[in-house]
């Protein structure tokens, strides 16, 4: 998808923001700047403020960031990741897994003793139904299992088979959209493994999973309330009896966490977290979002940006260090299109550096004199508190020094998205977030692929790079994949129409009482990992 890859059909900037001060649960809050865990008798309540990007709690349909937070808390998956480490999937409902040497078959042995919230056991039939439902219902996350056959080998074994090598599957299965449903309960409320499924209304009111929490109430515009699963099968029981996730704009998030009305604030910028006091904890880390510039390769759209020497001038003319200053603490320059924490990411020392004289020389070689180009971007969208506007203005000023005039043309996100998706932008400033933490997700940037086509880059435009992409897609071992994706990105940086810019920081503030918080590039935070001092 244009924003967070295929995921976002809406953005937090466009959703109604309800200032939930009236819903601050004052009776549950201890108050004060220390932000201690909310108490009510022997119970514990955790209040999390975030800017909602939320449509549903149905795991077969959810693919928005807030929905994935809810899904991770309420549904277990076959595999998961430990904390923030996305380099190795680990067992969850599956006790073990094995990928065939050719990368086409993934065999998973199911754990015995796992139960749903109603106490019934998790079976191979539940797994078969749940994964088939996601694939065949044709909801937003269906693409995760495109071309994958799901089979029950026996009562404790599930086999996933692909016609071509699919070594990303173990990295895909932890996605909360692939959470395992209690198939009996789901079917009683209209669940089917086809587009006629009618279970969403029920699943928005009462989760049918085996996760550490269940849904108490669910409102897509104001708040979601989770309660601890009293029958949770896992060794680590939920710390909090209740978790309230509220839809709050970032400025109010800061105020709430400072005065103790919430214990977690997820969407603060680097500037907002500077100087936080009162015993608050600030978790600063680089996010998996990658901001990039695209230069359209369709001569019908622009004879200027489709000139390879002009693209070289763009690449050399940008002041990457200056963009990092705008992005704030926790941000880093994107050396390639694959985020720094993923397998196959380029090392930091391969990041492009500014070369104004080299940019001027490339522009002269292009034969384009006094070029003027339009730069489009979404006007009202922010990512981790970072607006596109100052980035666009800085790029405009940088390229003016090279001899390129950039007209910045912000547009409402729906308008900008249409132009971007339809390949009509001359220059575009966008970002991409992972569907799953695997480098294969970024083959979309190659000629003829999803994002490549948005830059007017048709199949056959760069046969050497496309061949490198095919090799990467077929690689199975970690060593082979790392080398293959490094090669793809090196070639993409040298001759492609995409210019990786920055990975913005992710700044999460918690009360001093909250422990165990780790940022995750797929589900942001794992509520079940959060503890209390």
205 belongs to a structural domain: no
Please compute the mean of the pLDDT values over residues 220-225 and round it to a whole number: 96
Please compute the mean of the pLDDT values over residues 258-285 and round it to a whole number: 91
Residue 1 pLDDT greater than 70, yes or no? no
Residue 277 pLDDT greater than 50, yes or no? yes
Please compute the mean of the pLDDT values over residues 247-274 and round it to a whole number: 92
CATH number at residue 520: 3.40.190.10
Band the pLDDT of 489: cuts 50, 70, 90. very high
Q: Are residues 362 and 436 in the same domain?
A: yes
Q: Which of the 8 DSSP states describes residue 15? A: S
Please compute the mean of the pLDDT values over residues 183-200 and round it to a whole number: 96
202 belongs to a structural domain: no
Token pair, residue 366, equals 């292009």
Q: Are residues 100 and 66 in the same domain?
A: no
* pLDDT recorded at residue 385: 77
CATH number at residue 116: 3.90.76.10
Least confident range from 45-54, 290-299, 375-384: namely 375-384
Higher pLDDT, 28 or 458: 458
Q: Are residues 339 and 457 in the same domain?
A: yes
Alpha helices in 285-412 (DSSP H): 308-317, 320-327, 356-366, 388-400
Q: Are residues 297 and 423 in the same domain?
A: yes
* pLDDT recorded at residue 473: 95
- Which of 148, 168, 195 is the last residue in one of the domains? 195
Question: What is the three-class DSSP state of 87?
Answer: coil
308 belongs to a structural domain: yes
Higher pLDDT, 33 or 528: 528
Q: Are residues 270 and 386 in the same domain?
A: no
Please compute the mean of the pLDDT values over residues 490-513 and round it to a whole number: 96
206 belongs to a structural domain: no
Residue 450 pLDDT greater than 90, yes or no? yes
Give the C-alpha separation, 8 to 277, whole Å: 34
Domain count, the chain: 3
Give me the DSSP letters along 437-452: SSGGGGGGGSTTSHHH
Q: Are residues 245 and 301 in the same domain?
A: no
201 belongs to a structural domain: no
- Which of 170, 195, 220 is the last residue in one of the domains? 195
Residue 399 pLDDT greater than 70, yes or no? yes
* pLDDT recorded at residue 34: 40
Token pair, residue 453, equals 């086509």
Give the C-alpha separation, 106 to 96, whole Å: 11
Residue with tokens 């040497």: 101
204 belongs to a structural domain: no
Please compute the mean of the pLDDT values over residues 261-279 and round it to a whole number: 89
Give the C-alpha separation, 417 to 254, whole Å: 30
Token pair, residue 322, equals 């200056």
Please compute the mean of the pLDDT values over residues 123-135 and round it to a whole number: 98
Please compute the mean of the pLDDT values over residues 153-159 and round it to a whole number: 97
Question: What is the three-class DSSP state of 398?
Answer: helix
Band the pLDDT of 386: cuts 50, 70, 90. confident
Q: Closest Cα partner for 446 from 432, 460, 436?
A: 460
Asked if residue 493 lies in contact with residue 280, where contact means CB atoms within 8 angstroms, the answer is no
Q: Closest Cα partner for 209 from 232, 241, 189?
A: 232
Give the C-alpha separation, 188 to 518, whole Å: 37
Give the C-alpha separation, 301 to 356, whole Å: 27
Residue 271 pLDDT greater than 90, yes or no? no
Strand partners, 38: 45
Q: Are residues 5 and 110 in the same domain?
A: no
- Exposed e or buried b per residue across 286-298, where buried means at least 16 C-beta atoms within 10 angstroms of its C-beta: bbbbbbbbbbbbb
Q: Which tens digits make up the pLDDT trace of 36-69?
A: 444 443 469 999 999 888 999 999 999 999 999 9
* pLDDT recorded at residue 15: 35
Residue 19 pLDDT greater than 80, yes or no? no
Strand partners, 215: 226
* pLDDT recorded at residue 533: 87
Least confident range from 7-16, 140-149, 231-240, 293-302: namely 7-16
Which range of residues forms the domain containing residue 269? 1-73+211-285+506-533
> In degrees rounded to 5, what are phi and psi of residue 191?
-75, 135
Residue with tokens 């929490």: 213
Q: Which residues are CB-contacts of 261 (< 8 A; sequence separation ≥ 6)? A: 21, 24, 25, 26, 29, 31, 47, 255
Give the C-alpha separation, 252 to 249, whole Å: 6
Residue 379 pLDDT greater than 80, yes or no? yes
Q: Are residues 468 and 405 in the same domain?
A: yes
Please measure the distance between the N-terminal and C-terminal CA atoms of the chain and give it in whole angstroms: 40
* pLDDT recorded at residue 3: 55
Strand partners, 149: 161
Q: What is the 3-state secondary structure (H, E, C) of 185-226?
A: HHHHCCCCCCCCCCCHHHHCCCCCCCCCEEEEEECCCCEEEE
Q: Are residues 216 and 98 in the same domain?
A: no
- Which of 195, 228, 247 is the last residue in one of the domains? 195
Q: Are residues 110 and 228 in the same domain?
A: no
16 belongs to a structural domain: yes
Give the C-alpha separation, 524 to 365, whole Å: 45
Token pair, residue 142, equals 């269906």
* pLDDT recorded at residue 250: 87
Asked if residue 159 lies in contact with residue 151, where contact means CB atoms within 8 angstroms, the answer is yes
Higher pLDDT, 268 or 151: 151
Q: Which of the 8 DSSP states describes residue 454? A: H
Q: Are residues 50 and 15 in the same domain?
A: yes
CATH number at residue 457: 3.10.105.10
SS3 content of the chain, % helix, strand, coil (to 5): 30, 25, 45
Could you tell me the maximum CA-CA distance found in the chain, to the nearest angstrom? 75
* pLDDT recorded at residue 384: 81
23 belongs to a structural domain: yes
Mean pLDDT of all residues belonging to the chain = 91
* pLDDT recorded at residue 325: 92
Q: Are residues 132 and 24 in the same domain?
A: no
> In degrees rounded to 5, what are phi and psi of residue 268?
-100, 145
Residue 334 pLDDT greater than 90, yes or no? yes
Instruction: Give the Cα-Cα-Cα angle 129, 135, 139 (nearest 5 degrees).
Output: 115
> In degrees rounded to 5, what are phi and psi of residue 350?
-100, 5
């Amino acid at each position: 998808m244009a924003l967070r890859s295929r995921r976002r059909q809406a953005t937090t900037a466009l959703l109604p923001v309800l200032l939930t001060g009236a819903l601050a649960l004052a009776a549950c809050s201890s108050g004060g700047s220390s932000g201690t865990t909310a108490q009510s008798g022997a119970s514990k309540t955790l209040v999390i403020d975030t800017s909602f990007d939320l449509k549903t709690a149905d795991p077969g349909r959810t693919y928005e960031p807030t929905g994935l937070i809810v899904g991770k808390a309420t549904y277990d998956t076959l595999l998961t990741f430990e904390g923030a480490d996305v380099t190795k999937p680990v067992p969850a409902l599956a006790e073990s897994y094995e990928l065939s040497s050719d990368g086409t078959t993934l065999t998973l042995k199911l754990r015995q003793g796992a139960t749903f919230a109603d106490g019934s056991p998790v079976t191979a039939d539940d797994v078969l139904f749940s994964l088939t439902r996601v694939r065949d219902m044709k909801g937003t996350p269906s693409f995760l299992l495109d071309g994958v056959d799901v089979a029950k080998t026996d009562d404790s074994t599930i086999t996933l088979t692909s016609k071509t090598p699919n070594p990303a599957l173990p990295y895909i299965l932890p996605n909360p959209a692939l959470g395992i449903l209690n198939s009996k309960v789901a079917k009683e409320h209209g669940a089917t493994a086809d587009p006629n499924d009618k279970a969403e209304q029920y699943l928005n009111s009462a989760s049918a999973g085996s996760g550490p929490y269940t849904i108490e109430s669910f409102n897509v515009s104001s708040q979601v309330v989770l309660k601890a699963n009293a029958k949770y099968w896992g060794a680590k029981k939920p710390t909090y009896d209740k978790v309230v996730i509220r839809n709050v704009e970032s400025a109010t998030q800061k105020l709430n966490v400072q005065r103790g009305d919430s214990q977690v604030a997820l969407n603060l910028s680097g500037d907002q977290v500077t100087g936080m006091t009162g015993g608050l904890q600030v978790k600063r880390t680089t996010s998996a979002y990658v901001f990039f510039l695209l230069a359209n390769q369709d001569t019908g759209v622009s004879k200027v940006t489709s000139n390879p020497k002009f693209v070289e001038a763009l690449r050399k003319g940008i002041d990457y260090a200056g963009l990092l200053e705008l992005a704030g603490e926790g941000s880093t320059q994107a050396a390639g299109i694959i985020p720094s924490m993923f397998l196959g990411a380029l090392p930091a020392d391969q990041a492009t550096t500014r070369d104004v004289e080299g940019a001027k020389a490339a522009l002269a070689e292009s034969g384009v004199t006094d070029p003027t180009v339009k730069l489009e971007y979404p006007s009202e969208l922010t990512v981790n508190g970072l607006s596109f506007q100052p980035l666009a203005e800085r790029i405009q000023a940088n390229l003016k020094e090279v001899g390129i005039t950039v007209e910045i043309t912000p547009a409402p996100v729906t308008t900008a998205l249409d132009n971007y998706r339809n390949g009509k932008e001359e220059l575009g400033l966008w970002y991409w977030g992972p569907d799953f933490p695997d480098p294969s997700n970024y083959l979309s940037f190659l000629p003829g692929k999803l994002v490549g086509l948005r830059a007017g880059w048709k199949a056959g435009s760069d046969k050497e790079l496309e061949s490198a992409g095919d090799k990467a897609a077929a690689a199975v071992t970690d060593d082979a994949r790392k080398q293959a994706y490094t090669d793809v990105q090196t070639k993409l940086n040298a001759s492609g129409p995409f210019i990786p810019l920055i990975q913005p920081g992710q700044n999460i503030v918690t009360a001093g009482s909250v422990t165990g918080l780790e940022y995750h590039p797929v589900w942001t935070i794992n509520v079940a990992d959060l503890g209390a001092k």
